[in-house]
Structure 1
Amino acid sequence: MKSNELLLDAFARIRETVAATLEGVDNEALVRRPAGNGNSMAWLIWHLSRVEDAQLASAAGLEQVWTAQGFAGRFNLPLSGRDTGYGHTSSQVDAVKAPPELLFDYYDAVHRQTVMFVTGLGDADLDRVVDTRWDPPVTLGVRLVSTIADCLQHVGQAAYARGLNPASAV
């Protein structure tokens, strides 16, 4: 198996879990916050989508799907266009509301851009430095693995939050 095939498999698992988590869930369950202050399913899916979008677009030298495909306007959130959710306050988490179809449409579009980029990668590409703000500088391979880890963590949290809502459990 080539390294890009392994990465594609990992990103496909994120997509599969996003789809399963959103399947049949209603808008009320999407915005319910575990224990009243945990992150909602809507925020978690939006955030992981924004993270993958921002990280991969930057590494690939592409425009983010969020703006390029008009998702910022479709979501119409009271947040800056570059916001990915890092450091959000409780009121900002509450502000992220979207129907499951829109959340999945956005993630799916991000996933398609990810697949397009990762499909063309060779092993040598993974050593390319993509961020010099860290010591040691971050390579593309490290950025891809950290993005996968972050997104899998958040989609797992969303699936857990769904399980806390008996009416929307799978």
Structure 2
Amino acid sequence: MISKKLLKLFFILMLGVLLVPNLGVDAATYGINIEHVEYCDLDDDGKEDDVYAEILVSMFEGTKNLIFKTTLKFDGEILHSIYRDNHVRTEDEMLYKFYFINVAYESGWYVLQSWFFIYNEEQSGFYFDITIFDPPGGDPDYPIGGGLDPGP
């Protein structure tokens, strides 16, 4: 009696192992990361009121139906927004470089957010990253509960 139960259990376990899909090293890795943000003088006007950002996007080459958006906000207001729809990836990782000219002229907390959304037959997903920074002349202490609304 015990041996039949063990045999059935063994059979069920083996069947379960065989039916689980193989997720090898080629499994997709998706992600977005704001690698670097700094205020500087990109347009040589003598003012450090520009913002330079590097954003790393990771996904499989050939991914289709990608919506990608990056937004720079100050005090809840959108200063600049970049949007791409129906973009097809050509590499596994791409480093996007953004140059926001004459946008960081007030002291206070700025929000840089970036996201992408994939929708097609193979996969779907939403990936997001955000960073908050304060250009020169602002308060060095982070305003907890400062009313920033990163939103989508």
- Decide which structure has the larger Cα Rg and report it: 2
TM-score (norm 2): 0.26
Higher RCO (CA < 8 A, seq sep 6+): 1
More strand, by proportion: 2
